Amino acid sequence: MRDWLTYRLSDLLLFSPRTYYRMLERHNQAIWPAQLLALAFGVGILALLRRPGVRQGRIVAGILGLLWAGVAWAFLWQRYATINWAARGLAGLFAIEALLFLWAGIFRRDLRFSLRRDPADALGLTLFVAALAIYPWLAPLTGRSWQQAELFGVFPDPTVLGTLGLLLLAEGRSLWKLLVIPIVMCSISAATLWAIARAGPAP
């Protein structure tokens, strides 16, 4: 028991920071130019926020479901799982969230996204814009190459952040169900990034 108390979070990492960031780079190279499609989806969602309604809710939910499913399969299952055995469990959570968006937004027609100009909406819009336009800049700002940049709809962290922002703008009876997995993923991601930072500098 005393030995366990001497461990730090970084000691539990199954990979080095260099391996992790190199994996991001390889993923970006492998899927190019899919990043442009993900960006187009993000900008499209931003434009749709000005047109609340049933049809808008279905379209946004469909896009989010598609993006979460894509991240689950292309990144978490096929890429991240090669260096982290827990990634397949994360892929399962992403797949569940994708299905929840399809169920709540398309089949039940239970989601609306709108800008009501209150503090919650301001925070939601800020989070979404940050995930879409600011998050990719973290790579060069922390000394990494642009090829390691993480984009909304391509990598888990900005996708989760942007989704949380959109859910703050949403209305619907299924909203609380859609919030659970993004909140859990934020906790897991924060712990992982903290461990990577403690393990050593970015390459």
Confidence of residue 11 (pLDDT cuts 50, 70, 90): very low
The mean pLDDT of the chain is 89
pLDDT at 4: 33
* Distance between CA atoms of residues 16 and 7, nearest Å: 16
Residues 6+ apart with CB under 8 A from 186: 160, 161, 164
What is the structure's pLDDT at 10? Answer: 43
Global pTM reads: 0.90
Span 33-86, pLDDT tens digits:
999 999 999 999 999 998 888 899 999 999 999 999 999 999 999 999 999 998
The pLDDT tens digits for 100-148 are 999 999 999 889 998 877 888 899 999 999 999 999 999 999 899 999 9
pLDDT score of 201: 53
**Torsion-angle region of residue 34: left (phi > 0), alpha (psi -120 to 50) or beta?**
alpha
Residue 199 makes CB contacts below 8 A (sequence gap 6+) with 10, 13, 16, 17
Main-chain dihedrals φ then ψ at residue 170, nearest 5 degrees: -95, 160
Question: Could you give the percent of the chain with pLDDT greater than 90?
Answer: 69
